[in-house]
A = this chain, B = another copy of it.
């Protein structure tokens, strides 16, 4: 399976991203890579590594869309930006999926314009797997569609169910709606409309409203649905709280010698915690419902993040989730895009 990796965007140097991508080759024999970026930088990074040359291709470009650039302007004016080339490899069927840790808006736009939506899909949602006390769950939309109608939300539920079944291997996944109370009547005007629509869906194991604290602390749902605004608020609040706590911990540890010693002894624990909460683990997200794989990484994605993204992308594409989504949207009776 060919996968395209944009190693030019993102905050980390090309060398680190190439190194992470190459590591994935040793963990999955079926993966081949197309690295997109400055050929010189990529070759320099590769020259330090041992790997099977037949499994790695390079697509050269000098252009990137910056982190702070307007996605619309970038997509319009930089036709050979690395993220567009990576997405184009998917639309040309040279790759089955692409990954970029660059400008999120540009990555979403590149995926939508180059790869396009599956038949019937109204708005592709960004799905993330998130940690909870007992394992993991998935949540969508994490930020692709800030204003949603009940019809989009119904489609997200159908897509989320397929994702949870095939990617998280959960049988008859429980689908919940992000809300500020458990009771059916809770929420703002919009959420109440979402609830009404989800309640009517057949073939969905809808478990009602789920509060964000319970979603993380308990085991109430396998799929949590929200509009892209609220999903993004949750994602960024989680990130901020985790950073804040690590920082408070560091400050407290420094206050006395015994806890400094204790802190040193717990270094592996902190590293593991950092891994579980880091953008390398929770930062990457998949745009569901396209004619190919589109993986969006956090700008801070490092080598480990790219490695995980490649392996996850393989698992996602191997499970034929998008193909299954097209069928399920049809079978579920939700409103579909007809134009």
Contacts and interface: CB of A to CB of B under 8 A. Distances in A.
Interface string A236-278: 1111111111011100110110110111111011001100110
Copies of the protein in its oligomer: 2
B272 A252 contact: yes
Interface stretch (A22-30, A156-164, A184-192): A184-192
Contact of A259 (B242, B247, B252, B266): B266
Given A233-B212, A245-B245, A269 B259 contact: yes
A188 B227 contact: yes
Interface of A: 131-133, 143, 146-147, 178, 180, 187-189, 191, 211-217, 227-230, 232-234, 236-245, 247-249, 252-253, 255-256, 258-259, 261-266, 268-269, 272-273, 276-277
B240 A217 contact: yes
Contact of A213 (B132, B229, B243, B252): B243
Nearest to A271: B252
A229 B273 contact: no
20 contacts: A133-B243, A133-B244, A146-B180, A147-B189, A188-B227, A188-B229, A211-B236, A213-B237, A230-B233, A234-B237, A237-B237, A237-B238, A241-B241, A242-B245, A252-B269, A252-B273, A256-B268, A259-B268, A262-B266, A263-B269
A187 to B, nearest CB: 7
B245 A237 contact: no
Give the dominant DSSP class at A's interface. Answer: helix
Given A264-B262, A269-B259, A213 B187 contact: no
A216 B191 contact: no
Given A178-B233, A217-B244, A259-B265, 20 more contacts: A131-B244, A146-B180, A146-B187, A188-B228, A212-B237, A212-B240, A213-B236, A213-B243, A216-B237, A229-B230, A230-B230, A233-B234, A237-B238, A241-B245, A245-B273, A248-B273, A248-B276, A258-B265, A261-B265, A262-B269
A245 B217 CA distance: 10
A83 to B, nearest CB: 18
Contact of A242 (B180, B241, B258, B272): B241
B132 A188 contact: no
